[in-house]
């Protein structure tokens, strides 16, 4: 496959991947707080208005010429190659982008990222979270009145993506304001978990140059994780003040154990198939 990319590269290109509600938004926010990193959010979202919103946060108003990923105008591969990777407008050393499992499947980007990994100035950060927790977070998000049919984001309505969020941009913590457990459809949960298991296996073969860590490590152990994370990205020691800032922010996001957020928890545990049972961890976050 021809990559059509600039030569020589001046930045390290990083893809952050994981399941919906894996906590990738927490990670991208923390990374983007570093002066040498820009970590783009979900530029490949299924919603055109969301794609445009997050694109223009960094690149500015597209005015009358669509510059974001417009379906039928440019492919996801072309957009990433020509617009995102190696395109550091502010002189950053690292350019990251969040590409979650559903985006990898929808745009069939597995081979594309494998090729990038072989080039050498590309790496992967893989966030792992218990799939039942990801599913419960998504269902709580939907239960609170958010749907895929929410109003489109425009330059006159930019509060939507930041305040309400979107399934693929939702940070992932169990909302502390919601104390009522969510009812989970077993069959829907099983399909979700199995998709995630398959995606994790495909990511493992997609790129050898990757760093993997769990949601718990990010939320509960960022002070210990951060030296390894920023070293992996080729950056020096992180300012202590920055690390302490995010340790405090993550602390209030820890949420509640899984058993406290699913209303039909007991019946799920009693009837789940053998391949689902290992993920029904009552204390998972």
Give φ, ψ of 157 to 5 degrees.
Answer: -135, 50
**212 CB-near residues (< 8 Å, 6+ apart):** 125, 126, 127, 128
Structure confidence at residue 89 (pLDDT) = 94
Q: Give the pair of three-digit tokens for residue 61.
A: 């108003």
The pLDDT averaged over each successive group of 10 residues in the chain (285 residues) is 48 94 91 94 85 90 88 93 94 95 93 90 94 92 61 36 41 57 95 96 94 95 95 89 92 80 94 96 87
Structure confidence at residue 166 (pLDDT) = 45
Q: Give the pair of three-digit tokens for residue 240.
A: 């202590």
User: Strands 94-98 and 37-40: what pairing?
Assistant: parallel
3-state secondary structure 214-255: EHHHHHHCHHHHHHHHHHHCCCCCCCHHHHHHHHHHHHCCCC
Domain parsing of the chain, residue ranges? 12-279
> Is 42 buried (19+), middle (13-18) or exposed (0-12) by CB count in 10 A?
buried
Structure confidence at residue 257 (pLDDT) = 86
Structure confidence at residue 205 (pLDDT) = 94
**Radius of gyration of the chain measured on its C-alpha atoms:** 19
Structure confidence at residue 239 (pLDDT) = 84
CATH of domain 12-279: 3.40.50
Structure confidence at residue 233 (pLDDT) = 95
Structure confidence at residue 179 (pLDDT) = 67
User: Strands 210-214 and 122-128: what pairing?
Assistant: parallel
**222 CB-near residues (< 8 Å, 6+ apart):** 30, 243, 246, 247, 250
Contacts of residues 27-33 at CB distance under 8 Å and 24 or more positions apart, as own/partner, are 27/125, 27/127, 27/218, 28/96, 28/98, 30/222, 30/246, 31/94, 31/96, 31/233, 33/242, 33/245, 33/246
């Amino acid at each position: 496959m021809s990559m059509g990319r600039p030569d020589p590269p001046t930045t390290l290109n990083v893809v952050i991947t994981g399941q919906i509600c894996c906590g990738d938004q927490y990670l991208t926010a923390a990374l983007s707080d570093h002066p040498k990193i820009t970590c783009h959010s979900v530029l490949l979202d299924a919603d055109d208005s969301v794609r445009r919103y997050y694109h223009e946060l960094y690149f500015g108003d597209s005015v009358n010429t669509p510059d974001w990923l417009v379906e039928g105008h440019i492919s996801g591969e072309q957009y990433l190659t020509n617009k995102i990777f190696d395109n550091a407008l502010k002189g950053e050393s690292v350019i990251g982008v969040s590409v979650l499992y559903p985006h990898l499947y929808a745009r069939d980007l597995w081979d594309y990222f494998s090729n990038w990994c072989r080039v050498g100035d590309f790496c992967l950060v893989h966030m792992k979270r218990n799939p039942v927790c990801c599913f419960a977070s998504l269902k709580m998000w939907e239960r609170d009145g958010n749907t895929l049919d929410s109003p489109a984001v425009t330059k006159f309505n930019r509060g939507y993506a930041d305040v309400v969020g979107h399934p693929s941009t939702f940070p992932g913590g169990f909302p502390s304001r919601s104390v009522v457990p969510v009812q989970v459809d077993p069959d829907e949960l099983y399909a979700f978990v199995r998709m995630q298991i398959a995606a994790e296996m495909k990511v493992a073969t997609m790129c050898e140059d990757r760093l993997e860590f769990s949601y718990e490590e990010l939320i509960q152990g960022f002070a210990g994780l951060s030296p390894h994370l920023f070293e992996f990205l080729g950056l020096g020691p992180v300012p202590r003040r920055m690390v302490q800032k995010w340790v405090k922010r993550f602390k209030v996001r820890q949420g509640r154990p899984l058993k406290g957020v699913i209303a039909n928890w007991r019946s799920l545990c009693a009837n789940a198939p053998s391949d689902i049972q290992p993920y029904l961890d009552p204390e998972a976050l």
